[in-house]
Amino acid sequence: MASASEARDRARRAREHADRLAAEAERRSDRASGMYGRFAGGQPLLVGHHSYRSAVRDRARADAATWRAIEVRKDAERARDKAARLQAEADMVERLQGRGRAWTFADFRIGDVVEVRTFRTCTDVYRVKRVNRASLTLQGPGGGFDDPRRPYDRVLARIRDGVRLTDLATLT
């Protein structure tokens, strides 16, 4: 796992890249809109007229520029989504590296509420159903047949008697 500063730098670079792509998409969109200026009055293409070939060529160029602008805008949206994901990962890395010591089975009781990391950036809140040596069995929504088990390294916080505990180093 990368350090928190490396993760923040990666997220910052991705955000800057997404901003550059968004500016490029806007510039291309404005350029493509300007290329349709010849057709703004609604004049149809006149087959057989001396301007027909150049009008068809101008329309094809404007259409191609519009499609390129759309593709760059899609790239910008993908880059923005990636930047948001990297920022969430950086936040999670920072949160995990800020802990003083690891959780153990002695830190939990049945009925505690825990916030656990389910994927790289997602968290869920569950009630502890059973405390095992290497993991917690949590109370799932299905009434027992789908109770999730999470190892202690995925626990982010414990709530007991209304007190939220995120760093065990504060207990000792």
Q: What pLDDT, on a 0 to 100 scale, did the predictor assign at position 37? A: 78
Q: Which amino acid is at 24?
A: E
Instruction: List the structure tokens of 90.
Output: 């950086």
Q: What pLDDT, on a 0 to 100 scale, did the predictor assign at position 1? A: 55
Confirm if 65 and 28 have CB atoms less than 8 A apart.
yes
Q: What pLDDT, on a 0 to 100 scale, did the predictor assign at position 172? A: 57
**3-state secondary structure (DSSP) of residue 125:** strand
Please state, as a whole number, how many other Cβ atoms lie within 10 Å of the Cβ of residue 119. Answer: 9
pLDDT classification of 19: cutoffs 50, 70, 90: very high
Which residues sit opposite 128 in a β-bridge? 138
DSSP 15: H
pLDDT classification of 159: cutoffs 50, 70, 90: very high
The pLDDT of 62-72, averaged and rounded, is 94
Cα gap 111→82, rounded to integer Å: 37
Cα gap 165→172, rounded to integer Å: 13
Q: CB under 8 Å to 144, separation ≥6 — which residues?
A: none
Q: What pLDDT, on a 0 to 100 scale, did the predictor assign at position 76? A: 96
Q: Is 76 exposed, middle or buried (0-12, 13-18, 19+ CB in 10 A)?
A: buried
Cα gap 31→66, rounded to integer Å: 9
Query: Within its chain, how far is the Cα of 125 from the centroid?
Result: 20
DSSP 154: G
Q: Which amino acid is at 136?
A: L
- Kindly report which listed range (71-75, 103-107, 139-143, 164-168) carries the lowest average pLDDT score: 139-143
As a whole number, the mean pLDDT across the chain is 87
Cα gap 74→68, rounded to integer Å: 10
The kind and range of the H/E element at 62 are helix 52-97
Confirm if 119 and 85 have CB atoms less than 8 A apart.
no
Residue 62 has pLDDT above 80, yes or no: yes
Q: What is the CATH number of domain 105-170?
A: 2.30.30
pLDDT classification of 92: cutoffs 50, 70, 90: confident
